[in-house]
Structure 1
Amino acid sequence: MTAGKNAPSQAVLRFTGVTLGYNSFTVLRDIDIEVQRGQVVAVMGGSGSGKTTMLRAATGQIVPLAGHIEAFGQDVARARGEALRKLRQRMGVLFQQGALFTDLNVFENVAFPLREHTRDPEAEILRKVLDKLDAVGLRAAAHLKVSEISGGMARRVALARAIVLEPELVLYDEPFAGLDPISLGIAAQLIRTLTDRLNCASVLITHDVAESFSIVDRVYMVGQGRLIASGTPDELSASDDTYVRQFIDGAPDGPIAFNYPETDAFRAWMSAHGGTP
């Protein structure tokens, strides 16, 4: 694993005592995480553990019920309008399904953020887009339609689009989901290489242990509504915590129960429908 480089003392992204939820349902409580420039950090946990909720909070889509979220030293929850737009411009997001525009070719998909957020002349847009496509190995695919490329290639095009503005923070939502082993390995090494090249901070929302552990500097593991563990991949691999071991080993038995836990909201719903929880 390659360590992050040139990390300053101030975090690019910091959660301090953060509680997140929707209406009366609390998803995560008292979360503390910190991501430095040059680091690749993984946020891991089972399905429904709140990983994507953390990504939404980092980009200001939802506000914390308690605690503070800072991006580039600014309180994300207090940012409104133009201030929030400027914060988001300093971030890149790779969505789980890529979210490419099917009516645009590869080049125009990557060029889209430049056309939306800059006044760069066409020659500069051409240079920047081809540079980022070259970084993901797809410079010669610039002319192709989205329907003419594979799923793994589409994920790389989406990655090129996420970094074309050279953001200071890149957030990846399940970047390895649905990829074949070769494409998965390529995607993992690209994330590490591009983080080092741009000297940005990268956060992976993932449940893929093997590929993530091979490239990240630090891991935060969430589950059961809280931060279960944090540390380097080596530290977590050596952990004897029952939740950590169940997740890393993929064991069917452990603290992660098969049945979704009952909540007050569920009991209220059952009562309103004449049922017994």
Structure 2
Amino acid sequence: MEPDASQSTDPLLDFSGVALGYADFTVLQDIDLRVYRGQVVAMMGGSGSGKTTLLRGATGQITAQRGAITAFGQNVATVSSDGLRKLRQRMGVLFQQGALFTDLDVFENVAFPLREHTRISESQIVECVLDKLNAVGLRAAAHLKISEISGGMARRVALARAIVLEPELILYDEPFAGLDPISLGITAQLIRGLTDRLNCASVLITHDVAESFAIADQVYMVGQGRLLAAGKPSELAESSDPYIRQFLDGQPDGPIAFHYPETPAFKQWLGKQRGRP
């Protein structure tokens, strides 16, 4: 989906010449990407390729080593702590493991952000939570304990909680991991439907090709410490680039290395281990 001409064409999330890493190790460099309202954007790559590092950069958990990351037009590295908190309130995050409160029931899990960040009445909370649970097909499960629902249902509860404040940008960390085929398909269509309903932007950190290609407007693929490709799913599907083909086709042999790269921190650690008497 291209930006709607009737809306602002400014991206909600913008990475410009970004390098990200930890301490003296750079995980990704020269990253340029943009996410617009109404889009589902998939950030894809193999395990250890740096996908979750992108998410941490977007939320200001880590600072870019080079370049600039802007969310809603503000540089996440230079805003005040209060400013960063306000930016994060405009985002929803669905963590890979759901991060639900096991001592709260389904309703209270979804209600938690409303109680923390708003002053709306209890009746408004009830209606808002039931509306979001209905959106993910779990309105009648509001009274259940987390221990009483399946893993796929728990993922949908976490999704309802992520959207309960109706964020402008939703970040999904491996939303399809560990789901059965039915739950996986349901979750994919929920992400697409909620993006359209809320007119927000959704970013999927994922390595699941078929599900992401079915709902994404734009795909960014990372690997080998850099941005390997960017384009519409149909464009990447037709690519003959060996990196892209290896990933999309699940080929064991190709340019994408199996071994995690050696870092200065590893070499320092190894030296200490070998230096022991």
TM range (shorter): over 0.9
Q: CA offset at residue 257 of structure 1?
A: 1.7
Rounded to whole Å, the distance in 1 between the matches of 2:144 and 2:266 is 48
Rounded to whole Å, the distance in 2 between the matches of 1:8 and 1:193 is 21
- Does the alignment pair 1:92 with 2:92? yes
Residue 9 of structure 1 corresponds to which residue in structure 2?
9
Rounded to whole Å, the distance in 2 between the matches of 1:60 and 1:260 is 25
Q: Provide the secondary structure at the position in 1 that maps to 2:47.
A: coil
Aligned pairs for 1:1-277 (under 5 A) are 3=1, 6=4, 8-274=8-274
Q: Provide the secondary structure at the position in 1 that maps to 2:109.
A: helix
Rounded to whole Å, the distance in 2 between the matches of 1:175 and 1:256 is 23
Rounded to whole Å, the distance in 2 between the matches of 1:135 and 1:181 is 20
Q: Provide the secondary structure at the position in 2 that maps to 1:172.
A: strand
Aligned residues: 273
Over residues 151-194 of structure 1, what are the superposed CA-to-partner deviations in whole Å (9 max), with x where a residue is unaligned?
00000000000000000000000000000000000000000000
Q: Provide the secondary structure at the position in 1 that maps to 2:77.
A: helix
Rounded to whole Å, the distance in 1 between the matches of 2:119 and 2:55 is 29
Q: CA offset at residue 274 of structure 1?
A: 2.8
Q: CA offset at residue 260 of structure 1?
A: 2.1
- Aligned-residue sequence identity (percent) comes to 74
One-letter amino acid of the counterpart of residue 15, structure 1? F
Rounded to whole Å, the distance in 1 between the matches of 2:77 and 2:117 is 23
Rounded to whole Å, the distance in 2 between the matches of 1:111 and 1:41 is 27
One-letter amino acid of the counterpart of residue 70, structure 1? T
Rounded to whole Å, the distance in 1 between the matches of 2:274 and 2:190 is 53
CA RMSD across the alignment? 1.1
Rounded to whole Å, the distance in 2 between the matches of 1:155 and 1:130 is 16
Indicate how the Cα distance of structure 1 residues 142 and 5 shifts in structure 2: closer, same or farther if over 3 A, else same. farther
Q: TM-score, structure 1 length as denominator? A: 0.96
One-letter amino acid of the counterpart of residue 200, structure 1? C
Q: CA offset at residue 272 of structure 1?
A: 2.7
Q: CA offset at residue 258 of structure 1?
A: 2.0
Rounded to whole Å, the distance in 2 between the matches of 1:263 and 1:108 is 44
One-letter amino acid of the counterpart of residue 114, structure 2? L
Rounded to whole Å, the distance in 2 between the matches of 1:161 and 1:103 is 15
One-letter amino acid of the counterpart of residue 85, structure 1? R
Q: CA offset at residue 4 of structure 1?
A: 6.5
One-letter amino acid of the counterpart of residue 158, structure 2? A
Between 3-12 and 250-259, report the one with greater CA deviation.
3-12
One-letter amino acid of the counterpart of residue 189, structure 2? Q
Indicate how the Cα distance of structure 1 residues 67 and 4 shifts in structure 2: closer, same or farther if over 3 A, else same. same
One-letter amino acid of the counterpart of residue 96, structure 2? Q
Q: Provide the secondary structure at the position in 1 that maps to 2:19.
A: strand
Q: CA offset at residue 58 of structure 1?
A: 0.4
Asked whether the 8 Å contact 1:41–1:203 carries over to 2, the reply is yes
Rounded to whole Å, the distance in 2 between the matches of 1:5 and 1:114 is 30
Over residues 104-143 of structure 1, what are the superposed CA-to-partner deviations in whole Å (9 max), with x where a residue is unaligned?
0000000000000000100100010000000000000000
One-letter amino acid of the counterpart of residue 234, structure 2? D
Over residues 192-239 of structure 1, what are the superposed CA-to-partner deviations in whole Å (9 max), with x where a residue is unaligned?
000000000000000000000000000000000000000000000000
Q: CA offset at residue 5 of structure 1?
A: 6.9
Asked whether the 8 Å contact 1:172–1:205 carries over to 2, the reply is yes
Asked whether the 8 Å contact 1:27–1:225 carries over to 2, the reply is yes
- Where do 5+ consecutive residues of structure 1 fail to align? none
One-letter amino acid of the counterpart of residue 217, structure 1? D
Q: Provide the secondary structure at the position in 1 that maps to 2:239.
A: coil
Rounded to whole Å, the distance in 2 between the matches of 1:260 and 1:74 is 34
